[in-house]
Amino acid sequence: MRIGIREMKTRFSRYIQRIKEGETIIITERNTPVAKLVPIQLPVSEEILRLVEVGMVSWKGGKPKGLATPVEPQGTVSVADIATEDRR
């Protein structure tokens, strides 16, 4: 979205809300871009908490238990062998 400086000053709160919702805003002066407002990138833990707050995910507060049964490796080739082969 592109808006002029005057428009940004007039409706600042509205545009800040849109940025919070993930939108990027380019501010122009006489149709020339002069600034770009983008949402900040939250650390993953803060982002997850935000998703919990808005109800997009649920969390009971406990630590994840992991898989019910461990995954057994298949085959005899290790990841290191595959990486070494890939580099050749």
pLDDT in tens, 10-26: 999 999 999 998 899 99
pLDDT of res. 1: 93
Short-list 45, 65, 64, CA closest to 53: 45
Domains by residue range for the chain, with CATH: 2-53 (3.40.1620)
pLDDT tens-digit readout, 26-43: 999 999 999 999 998 767
pLDDT tens-digit readout, 45-81: 788 888 888 988 887 777 777 777 877 878 888 888 8
| Token pair recorded at residue 61 | 């507060």
- Cβ neighbours around 87 below 10 Å, total: 6
pLDDT of res. 6: 95
Paired residues of 68 in beta bridges:
none
Query: Which DSSP symbol is given to 87?
Result: H
